[in-house]
Chains A and B, each alone.
Chain A
Amino acid sequence: MCRGLTPTAPLPKSPGRARGEQRVIHSQDDALGSAVLAVALHGAMTPGFGSLMQDVLWCFSQVKGTTDTGVTESDIISTVEFNHTGELLATGDKGGRVVIFQREQESKNQPHRRGEYNVYSTFQSHEPEFDYLKSLEIEEKINKIRWLPQQNAAYFLLSTNDKTVKLWKVSERDKRPEGYNLKDEDGRLRDPSMITVLRVPVLRPMDLMVEATPRRVFANAHTYHINSISVNSDYETYMSADDLRINLWNFEITNQSFNIVDIKPANMEELTEVITAAEFHPHHCNTFVYSSSKGTIRLCDMRTAALCDRHAKFFEEPEDPSNRSFFSEIISSISDVKFSHSGRYIMTRDYLTVKVWDLNMENRPIETYQVHDYLRSKLCSLYENDCIFDKFECVWNGSDSVIMTGSYNNFFRMFDRNTKRDVTLEASRENSKPRAILKPRKVCVGGKRRKDEISVDSLDFSKKILHTAWHPSENIIAVAATNNLYIFQDKVN
């Protein structure tokens, strides 16, 4: 029996029973007089769980993308993001396109088939540009997509490439007006002198059309490459971060932004550190964090000063001298930082580990998880082929109890923070039968390789999972493997 992780969605299996409480049926209470004693499994150990602790089995649900062995560069997925309800799933690719999937309504006829994601809208978000002043090509690759919370019938998202952030409105149209006076059905203008009758246009139903329109373009504010965007909890502002600066924008204003962090030294010769990721606190609209290439995280409060050069908190773990190598600094560079949904923790990803930090403790993380420590002895080769610079992202599940991140060979890893168990799974076409349960994978470090294990030297470093996303409330994950998007769900009993 394949074992996975404890469930995260708060789906009560036995409603009405408090956590940890055993359920005992007393024969004398039972009207039928049955002598069945049911001993409940030990309840969940932490708040927020369902009351039964049960292993989650991850199953294949869908895969999007071609099966061609040759990958077109522009099809490589560069970002994945669920919206706040999980109804929509957006991907951005190297070709500057955004594809949005929508979850279909669950049907009563097929209760075991949870809603599948189908293409909802596709549009070209960014085009390649040329900066004439510097003779530079600006890549159209979508670095990040962030959704705004839904406030009306339309959906809004931010997408960014290296230099420009755009606000897109995605809306549905299922009616159209007919019966204009001044133009006929084809849109051609009618000769006004020929009009003898006035009529009121009426709305008639039409096939559903989903259209995406760029509502705002926030350009020319970044000298260096944008690596992060983050929507503030006030829903009126957002920030964009590049290697050396972070800017604060108001959604309504495109020709101005406030610079809130600037780490560019007066003399570029003295530059030793860059910003690698930034995010707003999920609830406190004045608080944000940014991570650096030196493995540190700074938490800033915008109320203290207009320019947040002085951090309110500084998170750094002292280096472990036993692990010191020439590559120590490179592998300590943080590639992603994410607040927990609760806002109490931050998670960081560096090359070999994922760390969870408590906002109240700056001198070390409270948890450290090894993603692929077997690579520690391969660092020179990984440096030589540039893999050491790969930027892996990390995500929380809805209840902040499980964290997930990607690795090589199309492997991705999940860590249960409560049970301290972890699992390695693989996104591959071979495991892609509908509702097939994913088998845990294992990398064998040395010595005898067991059957089904894969040795470190056989790992395919060109198959890297950098981008993953977790549904905000359910056990549904989206994993981007080069040009394919895999969707996995937990097995519904």
Chain B
Amino acid sequence: MGGYSFQAENVQICVIMVGLPARGKSLIAQKIVRYLTWLSIRAKCFNVGNYRRLETAHPTAEFFDVNNSEGERLRKMAAESAIRDMFRWFDHEQGVVGILDATNTTKSRRNWILELCRKRNVEPMFIESWCDDEDLIMQNIMDVKTTSPDYIGQDPERAALDFRNRIRNYEKVYETISERDLTYVKLINVGSQVIINRIQSYLESRIVYYLMNLHIKPRCIWLSRHGESAFNLTGKIGGDSDLSARGREYARQLPQLVKMSVGDRPLTVWTSTLKRTQQTAKYLPYRQLTWKALDELDAGQCDGLTYEEIESRYPDDFAARDENKYEYRYPGGESYRDVVVRLEPIIMELERQENIMIVTHQAVLRCIYAYFMNVSQDQSPWMEVPLHTLIKLEPKAYGTEVIRIKADIPAVSTYREKGQSAKIKK
């Protein structure tokens, strides 16, 4: 296993977000959930704003004034509901990391949550996002808040203004975390400074480590498989074959395809160490790096065989793989889970970088895609990722936008449905 299973440890962590509005708290919270889920750790986000919206759908800035007692009461109720749901999730759904996504800007509010956690034996960990960079804040406001459910149907300019006033109300009572005996991480100006205090467990350190690698600069990630290879044509898996004629055509067309999508933005291309990806990327006019971690899933003894051959030689294996494709490990080879473990540094590095294009292989691409699109483990090994297709991922505040750009070059399908050996379609 990737060593990330914590079931026997019985650790339960409540992550408590802290920060003024438009500081990227929800973004961070959702990314943490996505990352932990990818690693097979049960994580869930409880956004207090969503609970508040059930009662008060379109509040103005005054709602958030501390002196507005009705507003205060409703907001506290929302927080209570969220926390109640979270503890229920811990108790009944084997939750491991629950994230309470709210501003939690006052000491008293934080203490209240702290007490609740301690009573339930849940480890509290605070994450504060602190930002005084006006441009960043404004950008965040424009991007996110004006498309928020609170402001549906309103003029964006007015929405932004109202939102600014809302923030001002919060600013009046904001107390940054300074209690030295708390477990917390303070991210200052999106990671230009990070303060880490009293980390209690390995899992917490893992979360902090992930956070340190994040940034919010807008960027895109392009994913592509290598062009059609000689092995693809004969239906063989694995190996280190060259591109076929059509694959070479894809390589020639790729620069134009990429240029149309990337425009003038700087880009770095990552390939695996196998020939077919390098040949595919060879005409791209960008800086290139090779990563062994991007090599295809090692099929071990089945490397170089077709699915039909595998089915006839190792029928039990073939069936077992269909049973649980994520966990199944090829004799002498790897499983999808193994690939996820070895891809983790790539994911970390991807989080740190800006525009990246990755030319890789079917299984690896599925795992990377699963991370960005939050695809579950029983679905990701079965995703269709056809050859000669450029996939553009644009991570946005609350999700990732996907665009598939097909090159107009036919290729075989290497997709195999459950229970079947791949049939080669020409």
Chain A bound to chain B: no
